[in-house]
Amino acid sequence: MRRARASIINRIAFHPTVAVPTHGMLRFCVNALRWCRHWRTVERAGKSDGMSILPLLGSGHPSEPIVDRILSHPGVQRVPSPKLTLFINRAFLSPDLCEGLVERIDAVRRPSTLSDPNGDASYRTSETGDLAGTDPLVAEVEARITGLTGLDPVFGEPIQGQRYAVGQEFKGHTDYFEPTGIDFDRYCGVAGNRTWTVMIYLNEPEAGGATRFKSIDKIVQPEVGKLLAWNNRRPDGTLNPATLHQGMKVRSGTKYVITKWFRERPWR
Ligand SMILES: O=C(O)CCC(=O)C(=O)O
């Protein structure tokens, strides 16, 4: 009987169409259940990677513990720059996981949108889709990101997939929202602004599709499973304009990436 009740509660709490209640005991319980389930996945992913299970480190500021955690992973490279905290980890995800994610993106993609639109209809021409954290494959990727960064999933937006066909791009932008922008309250009123970005390439288009960080003169080429992680702030917590980046035009083939953004306050 108790098992059946727990199973019903679990189903309700993790169902993708069920929103987390906005307050009270129920909200606390649903969040606790989600957290426990996520942590079990982190543990499983961690064990299969041979990583030890480490504590969660919050929303991304202060950033030093996150930086130390990321650097403790074998194979992580820090891009040398005094302006920007940017890491690269090649082959972070296996080709199998990447393939599964591409399928998920294809199932949900729709035209990408832009906050604070600037009148340039060709600014962001890709397609976008949110991936359900209730999908075990997506949960595994979420858990791997937690394992790498220590960023607490409570502060994370759902993973977003992007697809770029030939000629599509995302021109220069920062991932944080401009505090003076017309959309600031709409996007940041509850969870605050973005702290860290984690982006993973799922495939390699035949030509084009690199990510360019103009302020530090760095171009990163897509590779299956390659991860980028950067702090959208300076170490003192102020927003960092040197994070300006663009998804360059795909010249041949198709490009797929996933992006996971973290916020100052819990995401809901
Ligand atoms: O696709 C890329 O290379 C960059 C994607 C990006 O900048 C974004 O989604 O914010």
Is residue 176 within 6 Å of ligand 1 at its C-beta?
Answer: no
Picking from 131, 150, 164, the residue whose alpha carbon sits closest to that of residue 259 is 131
Q: Is 223 inside a domain boundary?
A: yes
Q: Is 268 inside a domain boundary?
A: no
Q: Which two tokens stand for residue 2?
A: 């108790």
pLDDT, tens digit, 9 for 90 and up, residues 55-76: 899 999 999 999 999 999 999 9
Residue 224 DSSP label:
T
Q: Is 3 inside a domain boundary?
A: no
**Above 80 in pLDDT, residue 89?**
yes
Is residue 170 within 6 Å of ligand 1 at its C-beta?
Answer: yes
Q: Which residue, judged by its Cα, is nearest atom 2 of ligand 1?
A: 247
Q: Is 11 inside a domain boundary?
A: no
Picking from 174, 250, 180, 255, the residue whose alpha carbon sits closest to that of residue 214 is 174
Mutate to test the pocket of ligand 1, among 169, 177, 226, 257 (most ligand atoms within 8 A of CB): 257
Note the pLDDT of residue 132.
97
Domain count, the chain: 1
Cα separation values, 177 from 1, 117, 123, Å: 48, 12, 16
Residue 235: other Cβ atoms inside 10 A: 13
Q: Is 6 inside a domain boundary?
A: no
Q: Is 191 inside a domain boundary?
A: yes
Q: Is 18 inside a domain boundary?
A: no
Cα(170) to centroid(ligand 1), Å: 6
Is residue 211 within 6 Å of ligand 1 at its C-beta?
Answer: yes
Domain range for 100 = 55-263
116-137 average pLDDT score:
88
pLDDT, tens digit, 9 for 90 and up, residues 164-200: 999 999 999 999 999 999 989 999 999 999 999 999 9
Cα(137) to centroid(ligand 1), Å: 22
pLDDT, tens digit, 9 for 90 and up, residues 222-260: 999 999 999 999 999 999 999 999 999 999 999 999 999
Cα separation, 197 vs 239, whole angstroms: 13
For the chain, percent of residues with pLDDT exceeding 90: 72
Cα(211) to centroid(ligand 1), Å: 7
Instruction: Rounding to the nearest 10 degrees, give the CA dihedral for residues 124, 162, 56, 137.
Output: 170
Q: Is 101 inside a domain boundary?
A: yes
For residues 150 and 55, the answer to whether their CB atoms sit within 8 Å is: yes
Is residue 249 within 6 Å of ligand 1 at its C-beta?
Answer: no
H or E stretch at 197: strand 194-201
Cα(205) to centroid(ligand 1), Å: 14
Note the pLDDT of residue 185.
96
Picking from 159, 153, 175, 195, the residue whose alpha carbon sits closest to that of residue 60 is 195
Q: What is the CATH number of the domain that holds 73?
A: 2.60.120.620
